[in-house]
């Protein structure tokens, strides 16, 4: 799910309904309070501070989400990310969505600030871990894309890429661990505590 501003624009453009952002924010809060959805705030990993918008929302029951949508939007990437989020919540972790800013030199020689996302920055006590959810990293270009944010994090906390494929858990030469989603969900020991 996304933020109230985007939802308000969607209602206006697709349904021709004018619903204020405040009304949408209230409904989202009601859904959170009713345990239908949960939220993860954005966290600037390098600056070590929260970015208050946009918040990312996850369904607490993906079956209800799918039923409400009539099983029309079965997007494996979003569903897998949502299931991992729910499992991390069940394990008792505080979960944020990481933002990793970095400078890029453009063709005209000017610098621009770009941001990469880390799907989950999880914390519990003194344990912190960065987790990316990816359907596959078999393609070298896709792997590069998925680990780009993890490689730009300047600390030594554990970094994990969870993939849909059945793979033997392994670490690469940069210390990033790769785990199949089934192993990750069934074996809580992959996160070092």
Q: Are residues 112 and 146 in the same domain?
A: yes
Q: Are residues 146 and 163 in the same domain?
A: yes
Domain count, the chain: 2
Three-class SS state of 128: strand
Edge-first strand listing for the sheet containing 49-59: 49-59, 37-44, 94-105, 111-124, 127-134, 158-163, 176-180, 170-171
Instruction: Compute CA 164 distance to the chain's CA centroid, rounded to the nearest angstrom.
Output: 15
End-to-end C-alpha distance for the chain, whole angstroms:
30
Q: Are residues 72 and 21 in the same domain?
A: no
Three-class SS state of 49: strand
The pLDDT of residue 1: 47
Is the C-alpha dihedral spanning 80, 84, 85, 89 positive or negative? positive
What is the Cα–Cα distance from 15 to 13, expressed in whole angstroms?
A: 6
Q: Are residues 73 and 163 in the same domain?
A: yes
**C-beta separation of 74 from 175 below 8 A:** no
Q: Are residues 12 and 84 in the same domain?
A: no
Q: Are residues 23 and 58 in the same domain?
A: no
What CATH number corresponds to the domain at position 90? Answer: 3.40.1350
Regions of the chain with pLDDT less than 70: 1-4, 6, 8, 10-11, 13-15, 73
Q: Are residues 115 and 59 in the same domain?
A: yes
Cα–Cα–Cα angle for 93, 54, 122, rounded to 5 degrees: 15
Q: Are residues 94 and 112 in the same domain?
A: yes
Q: Are residues 59 and 137 in the same domain?
A: yes
Q: Measured between alpha carbons, how far is residue 96 from residues 16, 57, 77, 78 in Å? A: 33, 11, 18, 16
- The residue among 158, 164, 172, 99 whose CA lies nearest residue 133 is 164
The pLDDT of residue 10: 67
Q: Are residues 78 and 59 in the same domain?
A: yes
The pLDDT of residue 76: 84
Q: Are residues 96 and 177 in the same domain?
A: yes
**Gyration radius of the chain over CA positions:** 18
The pLDDT of residue 2: 54
Name the DSSP class of 116.
E
Name the DSSP class of 190.
G
Q: Give the number of other CB atoms < 10 A from CB of residue 126.
A: 6
State the residue range of the domain holding 175.
38-190
Q: Are residues 90 and 144 in the same domain?
A: yes
């Amino acid at each position: 799910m996304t933020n109230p501003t985007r939802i308000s624009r969607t209602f206006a453009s697709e349904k021709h309904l004018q619903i204020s952002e405040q009304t949408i924010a209230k409904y989202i809060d009601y859904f959170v309070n009713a345990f239908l959805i949960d939220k993860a705030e954005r966290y600037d990993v390098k600056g070590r501070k929260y970015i208050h918008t946009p918040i990312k929302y996850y369904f607490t029951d993906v079956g209800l989400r799918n039923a409400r949508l009539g099983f029309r939007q079965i997007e494996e990437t979003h569903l897998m990310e949502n299931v991992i989020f729910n499992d991390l919540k069940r394990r008792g972790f505080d979960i944020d969505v990481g933002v990793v800013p970095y400078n890029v030199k453009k063709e005209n020689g000017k610098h621009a600030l770009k941001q990469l996302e880390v799907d989950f920055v999880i914390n519990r006590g003194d344990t912190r871990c960065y987790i990316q959810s990816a359907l596959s990293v078999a393609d070298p270009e896709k792997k590069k894309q998925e680990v780009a944010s993890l490689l730009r994090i300047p600390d030594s906390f554990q970094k994990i890429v969870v993939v849909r494929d059945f793979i033997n858990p392994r670490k690469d030469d940069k210390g990033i661990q790769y785990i199949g989603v089934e192993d990750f969900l069934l074996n809580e020991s992959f996160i070092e505590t």
